[in-house]
Amino acid sequence: MGDITTLAVDAIVNAANEALLGGRGVDGAIHLAAGSGLLDECRGLGGCDTGEAKPTGGHDLLAQWVVHTVGPMWSGGGHGEAGLLASCYRRSLEVAVGLGARSVAFPAISTGAYGYPKAAAARIAVDTVRAFGHDHPSGIDEVVLVAFADDDLDRYQALLAETDASGPARWSSPGSCAIIATPVERLSAATAPRRPTGTTQGGNRWRSPSPSTERSVPLMSRPGRCSCTTYATSWR
């Protein structure tokens, strides 16, 4: 099980509700890890519309910022859910880039309490992130799609393998909280890591692997703190 609150990225995205005053699921986990200062700051935001995004500081989190977005509740698919979910990813990235974030991690927005079918949501996540990357080639270095469960990871891997022919990508190793900066030309779960291109990025806490171990040492790893599985895609 992955926990987005442990990631040392510049910004993590919260799957919140319109009140922006906390909740259950990943929202609850983020507020718990960030401390009460986050709720205090959220109180001043005046809520957030579905499909929109608003930023706060990260408070006690490793991430410098939290971008709060509100996913759609699934109502059968005929109520603009897909467009709203895509808007969550796009607007969150726009807000994060506006803050100066170079690395952003997302949970699978709307796929918990809001009931969005996971396969359809994963496709929207991957497609929207990739489209953003192509439209803003220097906008951001890394986007992490956090797989909370093994089947989430399988879905992201399958989708990225399917779409990766259009550009380079990075993948993270399943089974540990490790994001491997591994550009691969054609992504597949079986592809061996190659030489990383990313090192320290934007003043955040990404770590560069040592030259002698770059094929196996993750760019970011938090042994003992996290057992999450993550999946990353980028476009450099």
- Contact between 25 and ligand AR6 by CB under 6 A: the answer reads yes
Q: What is the DSSP string of the chain?
A: ---GGG--SSEEEEEE-TT-S--SHHHHHHHHHH-HHHHHHHHTS----TT-EEEEE-TTSSSSEEEEEEPPPPSSS-SSHHHHHHHHHHHHHHHHHHHT-SEEEE--TTSSTT---HHHHHHHHHHHHHHHHHHSTTT-SEEEEEESSHHHHHHHHHHHHHHGGGS-B---BTTTTEE----BSS--TTPPP------S-TTSS--PPPGGGTTTS-SEE-TTT---EEEEE---
Smaller CB separation from ligand AR6, 21 or 184: 21
Site string for ligand AR6, 132-171 (x = CB under 6 A): --------------x-x-----------------------
- By CB under 6 A, is residue 61 in contact with ligand AR6? no
Q: Which is nearer to ligand AR6, 64 or 111 (CB)?
A: 111
* 27 included as an active-site residue: yes
Identify the sign of the CA torsion 184, 90, 60, 15. Answer: negative
The reply on whether position 82 binds ligand AR6 by CB under 6 A is no
Q: How far is the CB of 12 from ligand AR6 (least distance, A)?
A: 9
Number of chain positions touching ligand AR6 (CB under 6 A): 24
Q: Which of 92, 110, 182, 201 binds ligand AR6 (CB under 6 A)?
A: 110
Q: Which of these ranges, 2-10, 58-66, 131-139, 154-162, lies near ligand AR6 under the rule CB under 6 A? A: 2-10
Which of 13, 15, 93, 159 touches ligand AR6 (CB under 6 A)? 15
Catalytic residue among 3, 10, 27, 152: 27
Rule CB under 6 A: which residues touch ligand AR6?
A: 2-5, 15-17, 23-27, 29, 71, 107-114, 146, 148
Catalytic residues: 27
